[in-house]
């Protein structure tokens, strides 16, 4: 039988949804220290840890990040706001997502922390770079640290969400945060205590649609 701790861990994985509505309450230093320590233990290709995170708490810098983010979010909403052809349940979920995203765009500057995830491609194990398709392997040396960070936030009772929209303003973000020329941005993670319930059930494809036994299409 699984232990209580094991059950709690699996419950965290099943309910680790995006939490965009956050309070401005400060994050205790000791909680953030535990989060950062958990994050640094994430795996990376060759153990090179070719990622860094800038913890943005300065009000002026958060305000500027919010100014950059808002119009990108508005454009995203315009592109994906349609619920045509969706089931009522899926349409309701889409509306909730867009509503919470618009709340974040309007309040991001109030959140206590925005973590900007950075990477240096020279420090990544990008073994698929010569394939005739989009290269993705390099992300395997970045996003495990993001997952550690977000799960650690969950343990501390904090809400958070992974967003990549600010990467569209990479040059301005790099200038704002004095990020070196050979480092780039991979994500932004707003963090804070949830306004409401926060985490909860997520909609995902069933196991049989995602996992195969020995041959593509064969059920596990």
Placement of tokens 């990376």 in the chain = 44
- Do 73 and 101 meet the contact criterion of CB atoms below 8 Å apart? yes
pLDDT tens, the chain, 220 aa long: 677 789 899 999 999 999 999 999 999 999 999 999 999 999 999 999 999 999 999 999 999 999 999 999 999 888 776 777 778 887 787 788 889 999 999 999 999 999 999 999 999 999 999 999 999 999 999 999 999 999 999 999 999 999 999 999 999 999 999 999 999 999 999 999 999 889 998 889 999 999 999 999 999 9
| CA nearest to 20, candidates 180, 213, 196 | 196
Other C-beta atoms lying within 10 Å of the C-beta of residue 27: 20
Alpha-carbon separation of residue 149 from 103, 166, 195, 203 (angstroms): 23, 19, 20, 22
pTM assigned to the model: 0.93
**Phi, psi at 131, each rounded to 5°:** -75, 150
> 5: helix, coil or strand?
helix
């Amino acid at each position: 039988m699984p232990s209580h701790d094991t059950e709690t861990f699996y419950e965290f994985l099943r309910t680790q949804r995006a939490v965009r509505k956050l309070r401005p309450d400060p994050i205790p230093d000791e909680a953030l220290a535990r989060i950062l320590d958990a994050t640094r233990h994430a795996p990376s290709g060759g153990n090179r840890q070719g990622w860094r995170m800038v913890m943005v708490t300065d009000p002026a810098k958060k305000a500027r990040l919010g100014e950059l983010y808002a119009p990108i979010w508005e454009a995203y909403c315009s592109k994906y706001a349609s619920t045509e052809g969706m089931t009522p349940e899926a349409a309701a979920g889409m509306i909730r997502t867009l509503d919470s995203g618009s709340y974040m765009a309007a309040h991001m500057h109030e959140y206590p922390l925005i973590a900007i995830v950075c990477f240096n491609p020279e420090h990544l194990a990008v073994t698929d770079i010569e394939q005739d398709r989009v290269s993705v392997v390099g992300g395997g040396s970045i996003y495990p640290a993001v997952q550690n960070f977000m799960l650690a936030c969950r343990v501390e009772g904090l809400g958070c969400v992974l967003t990549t929209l600010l990467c569209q303003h990479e040059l301005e973000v790099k200038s704002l945060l004095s990020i070196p020329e050979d480092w780039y941005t991979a994500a932004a993670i707003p963090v804070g205590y949830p306004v409401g319930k926060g985490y909860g059930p997520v909609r995902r494809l069933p196991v049989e649609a995602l996992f195969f036994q020995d041959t593509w299409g064969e059920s596990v």
